[in-house]
Amino acid sequence: MKPFQQDHAIETIIFTHGDSDGICSGAIAKTAYPDSQIYFTSPVSLLKKLDLAKGYKRVIICDIAIDERTSTELLQRLKEVAKESDLIYIDHHPIPENGWNEKWLHNDPCVCSSELTYKVLAHRLNRDVRRVAIYGAIGDYADDSDSVKLWCEDWDKRTLFFEAGALIQAIIYAGREFDFKRFLVEHLAKDKLPSDIPEVLEFARNCSELEEQLRLRIKKQVKSLQNLAYVIDPKGYKSKSAIYAAAYGQRKVGGSAEYRQTKHSYDISFRSRSPVDLNRILRDLAPRYGGTGGGLAEAAGARIPVANFKNFLNDLDIRIGEEEHRLKEEHIIDKCH
């Protein structure tokens, strides 16, 4: 597992996210362009990291949401990249309403990035690569799209979920071990089963053991408001903590907050079984409390200063209830289903 190094003898650089959907998207892109470099980044870091793209013939970006705070500057920088390189930007997160209509941007909020990456690069891929896209869809709770349901018919679904589950748990356990994640991309791009990749099953087992301990802690620690249940500093995986908070708090939306001393703020993950659009609510509400927020309709996050945390949660709880009531009254159906 070698650390990332710039090598301009290689024509393609792939920027992708470090979660399961991002890793599977990156693996699909690397299958299409085997002689490529993989670099993991995030929405807040992409603008700066694009400096690494200089000199490459082809630049592919997968599963990186657009940070609205820097969206204008990012768009201008991407236009500059597109003048020098073949740019392909593939993402499923909501995009800014104005200006983001470039031909190099492939966006569909109704599917995961893995599915979208396969479709965009399908002319360079064989059908078997759809299996990696399915892993990414399962990891992103997006395996109910029409295409993924159709693709699953070509495989034993039980095996798909076993392999995807092992991969997802291993990725979560690895955390910020990006050398290991790059190692995963390399193997998945060669159509290796996750269970055959060294350390995956061991990491997955370790993750599951920690998750079980986490679940039992949350069962005792969860607090519930009218529409939102949450835990503070659960000492474990935030996204999983949010799911268990909703389950044991008996609410449709769960949140998990971790204190960040350097920022004197709480980083919060939310998971929802409600029809409300968490992304839209958080993008509007978080800045009112000196923070930031956004993500997907059913899975989003926020960073809120400690002094404003309680008021933010109370306001969010009210907004969720109001939005649920409005949707019920208007009989609004999810546009993706």
Task: Write the pLDDT tens digit of every residue in 264-316.
Answer: 999 999 999 999 999 999 989 999 999 989 888 899 999 999 999 999 999 99
Q: How far apart are CA 49 and CA 45, in angstroms?
A: 6
Instruction: Report the share of the chain in percent with pLDDT over 70.
Output: 96
pTM of the shown model: 0.88
How far is the CA of 299 from the CAs of 49, 182, 302, in angstroms? 25, 25, 11
Report which residue type is found at 188.
L
Structure tokens at 278: 């968490």
Q: How far apart are CA 208 and CA 4, in angstroms?
A: 29
Report pLDDT for 28. Answer: 98
Which strands sit side by side in the sheet containing 36-40, from one edge to the other? Answer: 36-40, 12-16, 58-62, 86-91, 105-107
CA 115 to chain centre: 13
In degrees, to the nearest 5, what angle opens at C-alpha 216 toward C-alphas 213 and 220? 140
Q: Above 80 in pLDDT, residue 332?
A: no
At the second CATH level, the architecture of 12-203 is Alpha-Beta Complex (3.90)
Judge contact between 120 and 106, C-beta under 8 A: yes
Domain ranges, ordered by start, for the chain:
12-203, 222-330
Q: How far apart are CA 203 and CA 159, in angstroms?
A: 19
Report which residue type is found at 62.
C
Tell me whether domains 12-203 and 222-330 share a fold: no
Count of other CB atoms within 10 angstroms of residue 323: 19
Q: How far apart are CA 294 and CA 1, in angstroms?
A: 33
Q: Domain 222-330, what fold?
A: Diaminopimelate Epimerase; Chain A, domain 1 (3.10.310)
Report pLDDT for 106. Answer: 97
